[in-house]
């Protein structure tokens, strides 16, 4: 296994969609992601891996095993980024998996590297579309109907992706892997603060997302009396402030975010007629998650008047636990390698959530600087990248010998 090659590939992949500020903007199904596929394919085919895709736009790169009738082992992550993303989120997992699949001795069963379609959900919401379709959590037709801000549908973008790779074999959507392991940066501060290079992920905190639509009434900013207004921006401000008080500031563990807000008509001298916004709520305890969700929905209904409000849940994913046997195996392998490791909860969602019902699944975390992610500032140290890749390779070899 080549340490310097993995790091060089991380830096090379980050050139595709590079922002001027050191970050990466390579959103799902964009021309940049298609270029990134080409780069992965050049590395994979050079190493004898077999590419394939499925109807959901997931990319598979398979190292043939001795018995090809056995269910394959699956390892990987995603290569799409946030619009203001970094070099490591997703890319580290895919490239560490590629390194393992490339360098291990011929495995007993097929070993498949996967890059899931649209993990991030920034261009097309919600995210994890590829793994959701793969695991039959969400219907492909529903996924294809989602549109980006420019009105382009996932369906059209998927067709364009496949048209760019006309010769790539298409496999049926979904299968039962022998196991799934996803390496990823932590996207939180715990490992760095503890000085420990490896996290064996115990599970993923639950997540609920909403779209909220506030309907007021447009009017002239200079003439409409304040007490006759139904101002959607002011209703938004009240709702957001109440939600922050009732949920964001009420629990040291909860994560509550309003990251997207659009105002209509968004003109400086027009009282806003409509505001549409998204809520992202996460908590590791399912009862607490649902209790906070109820508080958020109550806050929207209480503070919206005199505007009207509709509150729609987009994602409702309870917290999950990863496979205990696989976690034990990861911990033992880390000890054998002499690498410190600790159990850790994943605060962020990952495709591994949807693989866990299909097969033994687990995740490996490595530290990232100051816990910063979804930002051009995102950074992981070469030694930690190497530690995560080494642990993956060790366990995969154990599982496929």
| Site residues, a copy of itself (CB under 8 A) | 82-84, 120-122, 125-127, 186-189, 205, 207, 209, 218-227, 231, 233-234, 236-238, 240-241, 244, 248-249, 252, 254-263, 265-273, 278, 280, 282, 347-349, 371-375
CB of 351 to a copy of itself, least distance (A): 14
Which residue has 């793969």 as its token pair? 134
- Could you tell me the smallest distance in angstroms from the CB atom of residue 136 to a copy of itself? 23
User: Distance (Å, rounded) from C-alpha 388 to C-alpha 191?
Assistant: 12
Give the tokens for residue 379.
């950074």
If the CB atoms of residues 50 and 377 are measured against a copy of itself, the closer one turns out to be 377
Nearest distance in Å: CB 79, a copy of itself = 17
Give yes or no for a contact between 133 and 143, defined as CB atoms under 8 angstroms apart: yes
Which CB sits closer to a copy of itself, 102 or 122? 122
Task: Give min distance, CB of 159 to a copy of itself, in A.
Answer: 25
The residues with which 147 forms a beta bridge, in sequence order, are: 153
Find the shortest distance in angstroms from Cβ 14 to a copy of itself.
17
Residue with tokens 């496979």: 323
| Encoded tokens for 167 | 């010769």
The Cβ of residue 15 has, within 10 Å, a number of other Cβ atoms equal to 12
Place of tokens 């590297």: 113
- Closer to a copy of itself by CB, 317 or 390: give it: 317
Q: Which helix (H) or strand (E) holds 326?
A: helix 324-337
Minimum distance, C-beta of residue 347 to a copy of itself, in the bound complex (Å): 4
Number of other residues whose CB lies within 10 A of the CB of residue 279: 25
- Of the pair 179, 236, the CB lying nearest a copy of itself is at 236
Backbone angles phi, psi at 291, to 5 degrees: -65, -40
Q: Which is nearer to a copy of itself, 49 or 299 (CB)?
A: 299
Query: To the nearest whole angstrom, how small is the minimum distance from the Cβ of residue 208 to a copy of itself?
Result: 12
Residue 203 or 360: which CB sits closer to a copy of itself?
203
Written in H, E and C, the secondary structure of 208-268 is EEEEEEEECCCEECCCCCHHHCCCHHHHHHHHHHHHHHHHHCCCCCCEEEEEEEEEECCCC
Closer to a copy of itself by CB, 161 or 204: give it: 204
Shorter beta-carbon distance to a copy of itself: residue 48 or 265: 265
83, 20 Cβ separation under 8 angstroms: no
Q: Is 239 exposed, middle or buried (0-12, 13-18, 19+ CB in 10 A)?
A: buried
- Least distance from a copy of itself to the Cβ atom of residue 290, Å: 17
Q: How near is the Cβ of 11 to a copy of itself at its closest, in Å? A: 22
Name which of 231, 307, 241, 301 is nearest 271 in CA terms: 231
Tell which residue, 52, 64, 60, 62, has the closest CA to residue 165.
52
Give whichever of 69 and 150 is closer to a copy of itself, judged by the CB atom. 150
Of 328, 399, 330, which Cα lies nearest the Cα of 365? 330
* Residue-level length of the chain: 401
Give bridge partners of residue 198 from the DSSP assignment.
Answer: 341
Strands 111-116 and 255-264: unpaired
């Amino acid at each position: 296994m080549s340490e310097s090659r993995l790091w060089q590939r991380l830096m090379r992949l980050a050139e595709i969609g590079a922002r001027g500020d050191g970050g990466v903007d390579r959103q799902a199904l964009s021309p940049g992601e298609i270029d990134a596929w080409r780069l992965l394919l050049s590395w994979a085919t050079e190493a004898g891996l077999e590419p394939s895709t499925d109807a959901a736009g997931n990319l598979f790169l398979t190292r043939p095993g001795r018995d090809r009738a056995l269910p394959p082992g699956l390892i990987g992550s995603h290569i799409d980024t946030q619009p203001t993303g970094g070099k490591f989120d997703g890319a580290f997992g895919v490239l560490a998996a590629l390194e393992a699949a490339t360098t291990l001795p011929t495995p007993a069963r097929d070993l498949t590297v996967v890059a899931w379609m649209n993990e991030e959900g920034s261009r097309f919401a919600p995210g994890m579309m590829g793994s959701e379709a793969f695991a039959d959590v969400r219907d492909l037709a529903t996924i294809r109907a989602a549109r980006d801000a420019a009105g382009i549908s996932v369906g059209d973008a998927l067709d364009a992706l496949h048209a760019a790779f006309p010769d790539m074999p298409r496999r049926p959507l979904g299968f039962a892997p022998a196991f799934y392991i996803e390496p990823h940066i932590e996207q939180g501060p715990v490992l760095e603060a503890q000085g420990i290079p490896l996290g064996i992920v115990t599970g993923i905190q639950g997540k609920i997302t909403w779209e909220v639509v506030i309907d007021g009434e447009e009017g002239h900013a200079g003439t409409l009396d304040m007490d006759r207004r139904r101002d959607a921006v002011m209703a938004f401000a009240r709702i957001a402030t109440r939600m922050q008080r009732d949920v964001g500031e009420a629990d040291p563990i909860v994560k509550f975010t309003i990251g997207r807000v659009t105002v209509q008509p968004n003109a400086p001298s027009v009282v806003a007629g409509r505001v549409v916004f998204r809520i992202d709520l996460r908590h590791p305890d399912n009862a607490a998650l649902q209790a906070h969700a109820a508080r958020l929905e109550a806050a929207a209904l209480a503070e919206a008047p005199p505007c009207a409000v509709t509150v729609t849940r987009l994602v409702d994913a309870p917290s999950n636990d990863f496979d205990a046997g696989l976690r034990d195996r990861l911990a033992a392998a880390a000890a054998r390698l002499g690498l410190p490791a600790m159990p850790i909860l994943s605060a962020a969602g990952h495709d591994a959530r949807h693989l866990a019902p299909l097969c033994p699944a687990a995740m490996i975390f490595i530290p990232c600087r100051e816990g910063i992610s979804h930002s051009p500032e995102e950074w992981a140290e070469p030694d930690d990248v190497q530690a995560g890749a080494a642990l993956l390779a060790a366990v995969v070899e154990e599982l496929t010998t």
